[in-house]
Structure 1
Amino acid sequence: MTPDATYAFPEGDLHVTIAAAKLKEAYWGDRWEARPYARLAISSSLDESEPGYVKIRGRKYRVASRRARVHARTEAVLREDSDNPDLWRWESPLRRSEFMNEQNREIGESTAARSRLSQMVNEAAMRFEADHPDWQLVSERLELEGELGGAEALVGEARNELRKAEARVADLRDRIAAYAA
């Protein structure tokens, strides 16, 4: 996975890649709507075969995070309630755990290292958004391309089934014609 941007922190680099958006159902007004939530993958590794780490107080930590940006409608409501709303939501991690130490163990919830790593991930997401204002459209396009690929595969399967059915019909007609001859 080639990153779309890399951001340097005193602790180490974080690599940001645009991920396919995810459709989520949300109640808006008087009805349910499926809205796309643009997503980013943020990692300390450039390549999974060679893990990358950031260093906090002499200890190495691996970051494998995924963040979703709140939808524009939700953002408007959040901005009414707060001058500085949290516009990023945690998503499932890229690997087994979002933050791991050098021994591949998950970092405890209420640790200073986890706090700093989470702060770095949020800052990388905000910096990426500032540097790439159209990234959400790319994320939504990636989601649509994924759905298109799935739909095209279904069409291919349906065409294959249709060919089999047409061959069966032709075979049955030939067998019936043999009785009439």
Structure 2
Amino acid sequence: MSIKPEFEIEIEGTKVYLRILTAARKIERHDGQRVEQILGRVQISTDRDWEGNTDLGFRKVRGRKYAIESTMQRLPENQLSLRLHGSTISRWTSETYVSGYRNDKGQYVKYDAQAYDSLAEFENDVLTQFEKDHPDWQTTSARRLFEVERDRQTREARRLRSEADETDAKAAEWQKRIDDLGPAA
């Protein structure tokens, strides 16, 4: 998959780049039943090189430059996310291990920083606009997951067929040795 942005959205003078990622597959048990969820994923960044670099793109909060570079997962319709230390309610959750926001010194923005909630709100607004502009994006994300899984299963089947062919050849060698012994007494 290319690392080039697939989409560009501009909100309040800030350009943000997005690309659709392979969906995540989540399997849970509910009331004894196995339930599979396919969760769409996107990557979002203020710079088109996906580096979280404020020299390449930024969002200003209280006069300071901040970069956004996050991998976001769309929650199912019946779930919401509430950000820590804030009031941003979202249908998205971040997969980014540390903060997806960096200041102009390249440092990650801490969850309890004042800028964090502003950046989270802005990011949520961008993702909301993205969903409005591209309502079928989750299908694309799911298709990419299904293609990856299909290709993985195809490779495994090819490997198993090759292994079976080798085993059949070995069995044929043993059969030849048996035949060479002549009839059983």
Aligned match of 1:154: 156
The alpha carbon displacement at 1:167 in A equals: 1.8
Deviations 1:63-121 (CA, angstroms, capped at 9, x unpaired): 2212222323x16xx7xxxxxx945221312x864122344432111223222221221
Aligned match of 1:170: 172
Change (3 A) 1:180 1:44: farther
Q: Residue 67 of structure 1 contacts residue 88 of structure 1 at CA under 8 Å; is this kept in 2?
A: no
* Structure 1 segment 25-174 matched on structure 2, within 5 A: 25-26=27-28, 31-48=33-50, 51=53, 52-56=56-60, 57=62, 59-72=64-77, 74=78, 86-93=89-96, 97-174=99-176
1:122 corresponds to which letter in structure 2? N
Deviations 1:15-49 (CA, angstroms, capped at 9, x unpaired): 11112222223566774421212222112232357
Where 2:179 maps in the other structure, the secondary structure is: helix
Query: Take 2:166 and 2:172, find their aligned partners in 1: how far apart are those partners?
Result: 10
Structure with greater helix percent: 1
2:45 corresponds to which letter in structure 1? S
Where 1:24 maps in the other structure, the secondary structure is: strand
Query: Take 1:119 and 1:54, find their aligned partners in 2: how far apart are those partners?
Result: 15
Query: Take 1:91 and 1:50, find their aligned partners in 2: how far apart are those partners?
Result: 15
The alpha carbon displacement at 1:58 in A equals: 5.4
Query: Take 2:8 and 2:167, find their aligned partners in 1: how far apart are those partners?
Result: 53
Query: Take 2:89 and 2:30, find their aligned partners in 1: how far apart are those partners?
Result: 20
Identity over aligned pairs, percent: 23
Root mean square deviation of aligned Cα: 3.0
TM score, norm. by length of structure 1: 0.77
TM score, norm. by length of structure 2: 0.75
Q: Residue 55 of structure 1 contacts residue 61 of structure 1 at CA under 8 Å; is this kept in 2?
A: yes
**Worse overlay, 31-40 or 135-144:** 31-40
Change (3 A) 1:48 1:68: closer
- Structure 2: which 5+ residue stretches go unaligned? 81-87
Where 1:36 maps in the other structure, the secondary structure is: strand
User: Which 4+ residue blocks in structure 1 deviate beyond 6 angstroms?
Assistant: none
Aligned length: 171
- Structure 1: which 5+ residue stretches go unaligned? 79-84
Change (3 A) 1:165 1:146: same
